[in-house]
Amino acid sequence: MGYGSGELIIRSYNAQNDRVRVEGLESICEVGPADKPFLFTDTLGDPICRIKNSPIYNMLVAELGGQLVGVIQGTIKLVTLHKPPKNVAKVGYILGLRVAPAYRRHGIGSRLVTKLEEWFVACDVDYTYMATEKDNEASYKLFVNKLGYVKFRTPAILVNPVNHHRSSQISSNFKLTKLKIEEAESLYRKYLSSTEFFPIDIGNILRNKLSLGTWVSYPKGETWGKVPTSWAMLSVWNSGELFKLRLGNVPISCFMYTKSSQLIQKFLPCFKLPSIPDFFNPFGFYFIYGVYGEGPLYGKLVKSLCNFVHNMASSKPKDCKVIVTEIGGNDTRSKLHIPHRKSMSCSEDLWCIKSLKNEDRKSVHKLTTMPPTRALFVDPREV
């Protein structure tokens, strides 16, 4: 395809030469449908912040006539995937695809994806996958209709705003314990190693400085040394240390309502009206991952853990505005009990997958048609 301004050049990102230009591109690229509120990403001066904690990563930039017009990022890791005989696959994750608004609909996005796939192939990747909003038509048309990706899973993204003026209640009938990293890794390998997309290097995730810890909850009167009759566990990742978010394209009425609710909460707390967090300034968030548990009290126990995380976030600097949890789309048991605000959450995110090896083409069909496991491990490094 001709671009009018010269040859399109796609190459690896160079921090010294490209950092400022990539930040400029990010600032003009919204994430989400143009007719709805969307998120701006503030990478805090480090464009590769979202991928640099992954085992292998790469960022490509597209130049046209000396101007940077597009970027894309990718990561590679080993995960559990039902791919006989070993049920382990090397997967490449695509994220951060951005094309400058003035240069869209010229095939630059597809060229960036194709180049990244070529890097995946050179690294012997089995499958590549991406995540997008189910109503993001442009992304769906590019990946599914044009590039051969197929719908794989539809996880739910649950968002709970942090109230810095009020603590969440934690039942006195339950005990909460923070696990040592070795204990947490052992538990995850025992109970979640067979779930889809479980990362083989789970220990590296748990030892990362952004992972704030792993907690378990179980009934008082029982001991953790013996497996309790009911228990729940989760881990917390501090995404706000890597990058910030800011809401854009919001109606002025919503902005005014937010500000007024915050004033009422501050000066008239006796009314106990729910305060809406300020999402118009850059904010951080905690990401809950590795949610699992067993027993008849699991729902109440996981809710108790989530309330504990909320209180932990509310005691920190006020730029931590939300707690995000992503779970398998059919994990209704967890969804019922994880606190979240429906209006801020996404009941169906969309994961699409593609085989990069001819011998695996048939296995993709099996992967996309077989019933998903209840639990889905979402890697916090890819949020």
Neighbours of 295 (CB within 10 A): 15
Q: What is the pLDDT of residues 335-365, one digit of tens each?
A: 999 999 988 888 889 999 999 987 666 667 6
Q: Is residue 217 domain-shared with residue 83, that is, in the same domain?
A: no
Q: For residue 259, is it within any domain? A: no
Give the pLDDT confidence score for residue 297 in this predicted structure. 97
pLDDT in tens, 8-24: 999 999 999 999 999 99
DSSP β-ladder status, 127-133 and 88-99: parallel
Q: What is the mean pLDDT of the chain?
A: 86
310 with 354, same domain: the answer is no
- Residue of 166, 130, 212 lying closest to 382 (CA atoms): 130
- Both 179 and 236 in one domain: the answer is yes
CATH number of the domain enclosing 70: 3.40.630.30
* 164 Cβ contact list (under 8 Å, min separation 6): 314, 318
Together in a domain, 51 and 137: yes
User: Which 8-state DSSP code applies to residue 375?
Assistant: -
- pLDDT tens digits for 118-160? 999 999 999 999 999 888 899 999 999 999 999 989 999 999 9
Based on the domain organization, do 178 and 66 belong to the same domain?
no
Residue 17, domain member (yes or no): yes
Residue 106 is assigned to a structural domain of this protein = yes
Its domain, for residue 307, covers 159-243+270-344
For residues 130 and 200, membership in a common domain is answered with no
Question: Does residue 255 fall inside a structural domain?
Answer: no
Q: Are residues 300 and 178 in the same domain?
A: yes
The pLDDT value recorded for residue 260 is 43
Query: Residue 261: pLDDT above 90?
Result: no
Instruction: Specify the amino acid at residue 186.
Output: S
Give the Cα separation of 184 and 278 in Å (integer): 34
What pTM was computed for the model?
0.88
Strands (E), the chain: 8-12, 38-42, 56-64, 67-80, 88-99, 127-133, 150-153, 156-161, 174-178, 211-219, 231-238, 244-248, 284-294, 320-327, 349-355
Q: Indicate if 210 and 175 belong to the same structural domain.
A: yes
Burial 239-275 (b: 16+ CB within 10 A, else e): bbebbbbebeeeeeeeeeebeeebeebeeeeeeeeeb
**Residue 257 pLDDT:** 39
The percentage of the chain sitting over the pLDDT mark of 70, rounded to a whole number, equals: 83
CATH number at residue 176: 3.40.630
Structural domains counted in the chain: 2
Whether the bond between 274 and the residue before it is cis, its omega within 30 degrees of 0, is: no
Instruction: Give yes or no: residues 45 and 136 share one domain.
Output: yes
Is 201 in the same domain as 319?
yes
Does 256 map to a domain?
Answer: no
Residue 292 counted as domain residue: yes
Q: Is residue 105 part of a domain?
A: yes
**β-bridge partners, 285:** 322
Neighbours of 67 (CB within 10 A): 14
Same domain, 183 and 289: yes
- 178 and 323 in a single domain? The answer is yes
Band (277; pLDDT cuts 50, 70, 90): low
- At residue 165, the pLDDT reads 73
pLDDT of 294 higher than 90: yes
